[in-house]
């Protein structure tokens, strides 16, 4: 009889419609990952050399205003350019390219250099949530924009070039790969079943719930790839963050604060992660089956010095994990929430 705690098995990810290999028995093997020394540096409230702090000059020569709360600006080194020609290149069937116009922005969460979501107040995080909603609506309404991707890379391990609390927004004229895969899965489930895929998933979830409030579940998904991967799922079926009430916005702020504090407390270090929100595309279609949500992808495995890599079989075959989602959820569920660093 298959025992999900002991035997190798595959789990179905309904959002991506692909399999994840789980090998719980491998957790006892002698070598359990590369060891890296964590970088823990106490940050000042203001850094005169930081290009995101108020009043400072950025790398491209622009100067920040003396902002006091949040601040949004067009990325000086944007990956997408609004004036990029929408041309098409093709040589036969195999060499195909097209222009990719779009917009890239940076949002500073706070004027303080030393804050993170984990040690910001609920009202401070609430202002960030409000700005996310405003930016999603504004950028999504620009001609030609079909998707708005909000994301944060936290920590050097995730490629963050600056510790100042900030995130990015990329808005482009195509629905990007990861979102397109989810859109197809949501649409298919909606048309076949007539309900929200994530609402039905949350209704049968229990063992992997980390915590919940009146408006959101925070779970380690059954199909998680990263060791302490989590999702934040609205309890009400909504296609985008712009449909949240004021109470739901505050509920999201609470989830973000509680989750990031647990992450930081888990191994006693500022927890690296990439996180982002998947919302309905802004391509003019209703996408009524889509259920917006947040993904957190942290790389740390068993301690602050051991990280997970996706290599070998995972690059050539399918994603694989040893540490089960149930074990991860239990660790996070019973980790005391403390103000992060």
Which residues are marked as active site? 166
Two structure tokens written together for 159: 């490629």
**What is the DSSP secondary structure assignment for residue 158, as one 8-state letter?**
G
Q: How far apart are CA 46 and CA 49, in angstroms?
A: 9
- b (16+ CB within 10 A) / e for 102-112: bbbbbbbbbbb
Strand locations in 213-292 (E): 216-219, 230-234, 273-278
Q: How far apart are CA 255 and CA 193, in angstroms?
A: 29
Closest CA relative to residue 96, chosen from 104, 108, 88, 87: 88
Q: How far apart are CA 318 and CA 143, in angstroms?
A: 38
**What is the DSSP secondary structure assignment for residue 194, as one 8-state letter?**
S
Reduce the DSSP state of residue 307 to 3 states and report it.
strand
DSSP 99-123: --BEEEEEEES-S-TT--GGGS-HH
Compute how many other C-beta atoms are within 10 angstroms of the C-beta atom of residue 34. 11
Closest CA relative to residue 198, chosen from 229, 179, 226, 221: 221
Which residues, including other chains, have CB under 8 Å from residue 89's CB and lie 6 or more apart?
Answer: 95, 96, 97, 98
The burial of 35, by beta-carbon neighbours within 10 Å (0-12 exposed, 13-18 middle, 19 or more buried), is given as exposed
């Amino acid at each position: 009889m298959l025992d999900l705690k002991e035997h190798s098995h595959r789990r179905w990810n309904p959002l991506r419609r692909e399999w994840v290999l789980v090998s719980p028995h491998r957790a006892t093997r002698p070598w359990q990952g590369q060891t890296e020394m964590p970088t823990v540096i106490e940050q000042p409230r203001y850094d005169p050399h930081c290009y995101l702090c108020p009043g400072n000059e950025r790398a491209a020569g622009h100067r920040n205003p003396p902002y006091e709360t949040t601040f949004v600006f067009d990325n000086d080194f944007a990956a997408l350019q609004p004036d990029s020609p929408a041309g098409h290149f093709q040589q036969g069937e195999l060499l195909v390219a097209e222009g990719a116009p779009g917009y890239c922005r940076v949002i500073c969460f706070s004027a303080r250099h030393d804050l993170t979501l984990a040690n910001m107040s609920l009202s401070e995080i609430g202002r960030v949530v409000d700005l996310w909603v405003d930016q999603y609506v504004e950028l999504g309404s620009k001609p030609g924009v079909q998707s708005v991707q909000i994301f944060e890379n936290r920590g050097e391990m995730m490629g963050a070039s600056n510790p100042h609390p900030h995130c990015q927004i990329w808005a482009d004229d195509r629905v990007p790969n990861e979102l397109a895969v989810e859109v197809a899965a949501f649409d298919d489930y909606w048309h076949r079943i007539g309900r929200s895929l994530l609402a039905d998933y949350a209704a049968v979830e229990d063992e992997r719930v980390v915590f919940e409030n009146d408006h959101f579940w925070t779970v380690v998904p059954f199909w998680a790839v990263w060791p302490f991967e989590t999702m934040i799922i609205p309890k009400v079926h909504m296609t985008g963050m712009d449909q949240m009430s004021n109470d739901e916005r505050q509920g999201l702020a609470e989830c973000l604060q509680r989750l990031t504090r647990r992450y930081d407390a888990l191994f006693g270090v500022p927890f690296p992660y990439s996180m982002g929100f998947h919302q309905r595309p802004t391509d003019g279609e209703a996408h009524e089956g889509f259920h917006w949500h947040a993904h957190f992808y942290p790389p740390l495995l068993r301690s602050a010095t051991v990280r997970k890599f996706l290599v070998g079989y995972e690059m050539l075959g399918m994603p694989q994990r040893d540490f089960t989602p149930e074990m991860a959820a239990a660790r996070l569920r019973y980790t005391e929430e403390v103000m992060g660093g």
